Amino acid sequence: MPAAESAATTTQSAAPGGRDPAGWPLIALLGNPNTGKSTIFNRLTGLRQRIANYPGITVEARQGLMVNCGRTMQVLDLPGTYSLSATSPDERVVIDVLTGHGGQPKPDLVVCILDATNVRRNLFLASQLAEFEMPVILVLNQWDVAVRRGIAPDPRALEHALGVPVLTTVGTKGHGLAELRQAICDSLAKPRRMRRIEWQQATLEAGETLRAAIRDAGGDVTLAEAHRIIFDSRSAIRERLPVDKDRLGELVQEARAKIRRSGLNPAAAEAILHYAHIDGLLADAIRGSRAMIRGGDESIDALLVHRVWGSLIFVAVMWVVFQSVYAWAAPFMDLIDAGTSWLQETVGGALAGTPVFASLVSDGIIAGAGGVVIFLPQIFILFLFIALLEDSGYMSRAAFLMDKLFGWCGLNGKSFVPLLSSYACAIPGVMAARALEDPKARLTTVLMAPFMSCSARLPVYVLLIGAFIEPVYGTFVAGWVLFGMHFVGLAVALPLVWFLNRVVLRTPQLPFLLEMSSYKIPDMRNVVLKMWEGGREFLLRAGTVILAFSVIIWALLYFPRDPSVATRAEEAFVAARSSEVGAAQAAAELADPASDSSVALAHAIDGAYLEQSFLGRFGKFVQPVFALAGFDWKITVGVLSSFPAREVIIATLGIIYNLGDDVDEQSEGLRGAMAAQTWPDGPRAGQPVFTVPVVLAVMVFFALCMQCGATLAVIGRQIGWSWAVGSFIGMSALAWSGAVLVFQIGSFLAR
């Protein structure tokens, strides 16, 4: 489908929601959470969709294209919201789009998706929408469930009462979608506006008076916007007005006083009047549609949120999720790893004629791309589980169970899944934090994720504990140290998060209101699309940044590569070998490229190049700073080189200790070489470099440092680059301080 593809490319380049020259109509989908809105969006647009990012805030509305009655149309899936009071970033985007301030013109048509099993509450949002006097279609989704439970409203009566088309759909099965497409075409040709609430006199006058006053002050708002300003103390509309803040505050107070004098509490007036409007106007249509909690849901909840059984089931579910992200992904990751190595060797071999280019392609680009792709299995698996948990209705129960544990430091129950999965890998964890509506909790969950001990830290722990703790203190202690290392980040992060939320970000916390909707069988189309979306977002948004990091670090490790370094290393090696076995024997060994000596020579040359590289020199230069933590220059270079990806340290140490890069955390050679390291000079000359305090200091450094370009990139995309850079610097400082503290205290105790 070339037409559709070229159309999709066009939107890719357009600003979020920006109308393109073709003049495609913009259709916005609006609705409460859990109405099946996204399923309908997926049905309408198929895979021709992407996430439209709104600059400066962490809200993502999905945008897609559909071809309908011979025209291309843009479809915008707005974040699910219960009302138009613009307090959370999600709601802000909704109000901005509806008032034409979302960096785009107003939508040509709003399709408002209602949950047919709970029409009354869902109509509250629709009733607020009606005030904006836009063309509207109402869709009663999950119609089959409502009919089966005998609580379906009468769509004809609704249509008659509201004056707009009312359709019934079963999004998961695609029922009613053809009719919806047709209704969209009809409405674009002949727009119909929804009957709006008739405010009682005082509210109407208050709105008109405020509107006139704003106009006098040089602003311009509609009556609907004026009412939003009166009813929402922090409305997004309010901030956009060119009116002096204090003056506007007075005007709003006057308007609210007018409403109060009419006998209504202005805080509650809007909801009371809208619900009265809904109840009065729709008495006939929703008479038989009184929503109620299903007995089945009640029985499931009796088990799933039970004090004992609910907690046990929760632990079991989370264990499965964690194990899957951790273990199921492993074979795929190994496969990607093997594929990357194979490609590196093949391409490196083919380009052997130009060593610089060969190294750039195989060690810089292919290694970098492999380092991106390797996270895909974990992202897919985590998003599979998140989609299943969300669509089934269990996620809100999990948040309910966990909320108390997280509330004290400003997080909430929904932080649990992102943080748990960060123990496997922070990247899917950061991405999963999108599910948190409360902006403060979302921000802090993202900032906390890289402190969780991800699986890339494990090789470092295994190497150091295996080489230095286990031989001295035994397996039992080694196991406990490994276990304890997994909590270092958490223990440091929790007080910081508390401090950040209670002292730094002193914006009020939103109430943690959680709808515990009916249990459902997940819609597999939705599940697969969520996985696909997670993977694609990661590749598109983070992949490029990670690749760039990887190439930069490669260059710092490769250049300047003065050939005299190799010559000197070779001379030194030959001299040393000659003095051991005689010059003739040494020359004979080196004549055979497969001999142990030749391999050792190649490793020695690699080591010398690394030492003389920009990063190697930089490492030596800054080593005094790390000396406070007991690091020699080799550890320092290893630590610095692993900033783009912490697992790289193993290979770097292999090169530094002249063992080549083909070592892993179990290598006896690497463990032996590290144990044999002694300080060449200085106060500790002759003593081993790796003492227990040094080993612990290195591990604490890794536990607290964000040595992961991929995480940095994902955080930057998610909550903004200033936060990403800030947390990177903050974590680096914490890691250094932690390492210094551990080393100094450890050395003092060991004395």
Partner 1 sequence: MRTLDQIGKGQAARIVDVRGEGDNVGRLHALGFLPGKIVRHRNTAPLGDPVAYEIDGQKISMRRADAAQVEVEQMRGAVP
Contacting residues toward partner 1, per CB under 8 A: 82-83, 85, 87, 118, 120-121, 124-125, 231-234, 265-268, 270-272, 275, 290-293, 297-298, 301-302, 305-308, 310-311, 396, 400-401, 403-405, 407, 413, 508, 510-517
CB 316, min distance to partner 1, A: 15
Helix orientation angle between 524-537 and 37-45, rounded to the nearest 10 degrees: 80
Give all strands (DSSP E) within 420-470, no chain letters.
Answer: none
Question: What gap in Å lies between CA 553 and CA 639, rounded to an integer?
Answer: 12
Nearer to partner 1, 12 or 265 (CB): 265
Nearer to partner 1, 272 or 540 (CB): 272
DSSP label at residue 223: H
Q: Which two tokens stand for residue 465?
A: 């504990």
DSSP code string of 371-425:
HHHTTHHHHHHHHHHHHHHHHHTHHHHHHHHHHHHHHTTT--GGGHHHHHHHTT-
Q: Which two tokens stand for residue 516?
A: 């515990």
CB 141, min distance to partner 1, A: 16
Contact between 398 and 553 (Cβ < 8 Å): no
Nearer to partner 1, 114 or 695 (CB): 114
Per DSSP bridges, beta strands 60-68 and 71-77 are antiparallel
CB 520, min distance to partner 1, A: 14
CB 462, min distance to partner 1, A: 35
CB 37, min distance to partner 1, A: 17
Nearer to partner 1, 512 or 723 (CB): 512
Cis peptide before 79 (omega within 30 of 0): no
Four-CA torsion 498, 503, 505, 509, nearest 10 degrees: 70
CA angle in degrees (0–180, nearest 5) for 277-223-124: 30
Nearer to partner 1, 252 or 447 (CB): 252
Nearer to partner 1, 498 or 512 (CB): 512
CB 514, min distance to partner 1, A: 4
237 to 132, 231, 510: CA distances (angstroms): 13, 11, 19
CB 637, min distance to partner 1, A: 47
Question: What gap in Å lies between CA 246 and CA 236, rounded to an integer?
Answer: 16
Contact between 128 and 83 (Cβ < 8 Å): yes
CB 413, min distance to partner 1, A: 8
Nearer to partner 1, 310 or 709 (CB): 310
Q: Phi/psi of residue 663, each to 5°?
A: -125, 160
Question: What gap in Å lies between CA 27 and CA 499, rounded to an integer?
Answer: 43
Nearer to partner 1, 160 or 306 (CB): 306
Residue 629's contacts (CB-CB under 8 Å, 6 or more residues apart) are 694, 697, 698, 701, 736, 739, 740, 742, 743
Nearer to partner 1, 158 or 645 (CB): 158
CB 433, min distance to partner 1, A: 20
Nearer to partner 1, 8 or 317 (CB): 317
Half-sphere exposure at residue 327, Cβ-oriented, CA atoms within 13 angstroms: 6
**528 burial type by CB count under 10 A (0-12 exposed, 13-18 middle, 19+ buried):** middle
Question: What gap in Å lies between CA 401 and CA 415, rounded to an integer?
Answer: 12
CB 417, min distance to partner 1, A: 16
Nearer to partner 1, 120 or 620 (CB): 120
CB 435, min distance to partner 1, A: 16
